[in-house]
Copies of this chain bind each other. A is one copy, B any other.
Amino acid sequence: MEKNLQIVLASRPVGEVEESHFQLVSTIIPTPADGEVLVRNRWLSLDPYMRGRMSDAKSYAQPVAIGEVMVGGTAGEVVESKHPNFKPGDTVVGALGWQHFGVAKGAALSKVDTTAIPLSAYLGPVGMPGVTAWVGLIDICAPKSGDTVVVTAASGAVGSVVGQLAKLHGARAVGVAGGPEKCRYVVEELGFDACIDYKAGNLRKDLKAALPNGIDCLFENVGGEIFDSLLMRMNPFSRIALCGMIADYSAIDPYGMKNIRSILVNRIKMQGFIVSDRMELWPPALKELGQGVATGRIKYRETVADGLAAAPAAFMGMLKGKNFGKQLVKL
């Protein structure tokens, strides 16, 4: 009889995540109760926020308990349904975590149409990362035509959508990414106007050269020295959508930001946000993102790890920027 493979949190990292913080376990497949649905997950999404859930530091969400299945977005097929809206074979997305099989209430699952959009894209540009890009860019930054939008981690699942949406809305899109290959992709394949390789060793000089008109909207995913350097290029009355600070997630001693005064001098509005606070924006966001992906105007790239056992290494690599585009695990 088939078993349910799971990855549970074995211990809490202090500083960098290691394999030993995870444990692969085999359990029985759960049975759905009334109103619930059993799903065979086919895709697991790996995202930076998961690093926060491994820690018990105060945050916006409860940490994963030791011994509990790691949290995560998933896409798969219904195996058994005790909810009237679902039947076996339906393709659904949910948050069933790092495991092959999961049970959820019907209300916690969304049926998705894979006719024009591949199932995995519902974990990327037409899912949480895409909506994150939409909320930060459209709702918080609200760029006007001709504005300069800068996004860090520009080749990533969120950043790649930010720049493409910015272009679709008439703005100039400038990315910051690590390495010439990612920068080439961002400009040549995604259509950004420019990309700064922060690994090239001339960050401040390169930012100055690539941003002759300053920054009107900064979509910040990285934090640390890159964010601090970008603050020096902000325009008066510009906006910062603070979405992530991945550079700090594994740091025991966070980077000391020296240019916060720019927020005062330039009268900047900075807004920290979490996409799950803004559920009312998901329908308009998903509509625009779905159309963009279905028509090919929003492109995306995936890095796929093969099998659940490969998830920890893929997650650790992602935290160091080793993935290229959306990091997924094929289950």
Contacts and interface: CB of A to CB of B under 8 A. Distances in A.
Interface string A231-252: 0000010000011110010000
Q: Which of A58, A227, A260, A273 has the most CB of B within 10 A?
A: A260
Contacts of A274: 267
Contacts of A265: 52, 58-60, 272
Contact of A60 (B245, B254, B266, B277): B266
A243 B261 CA distance: 10
Given A60-B236, A223-B260, A258-B255, A273 B277 contact: no
A257 interface: yes
A268 interface: yes
Interface in A253-295: 253-261, 263-274, 277
Q: Which of A244, A256, A263, A264 has the most CB of B within 10 A?
A: A264
A274 B254 CA distance: 30
B270 A244 contact: no
Contacts of A256: 255-258
A223 B264 CA distance: 10
B254 A261 contact: yes
Interface string A103-138: 000000000000000000000000000000000000
Contacts of A242: 263-264
A293 B281 CA distance: 45
Nearest to A263: B272
Given A269-B270, A269-B271, A243 B264 contact: yes
A264 B245 contact: yes
Interface string A207-235: 00000000000000001000100000000
Q: Which of A52, A261, A270 has the most CB of B within 10 A?
A: A261
Nearest to A245: B261
Contact of A261 (B248, B266, B277): B248
Contacts of A259: 254
A269 B240 CA distance: 10
A139 B258 CA distance: 27
Contact of A223 (B59, B261, B266): B261
Contacts of A52: 265
Given A245-B260, A256-B257, 11 more contacts: A52-B265, A58-B265, A59-B265, A60-B236, A244-B264, A256-B256, A260-B260, A263-B272, A268-B271, A268-B272, A269-B270
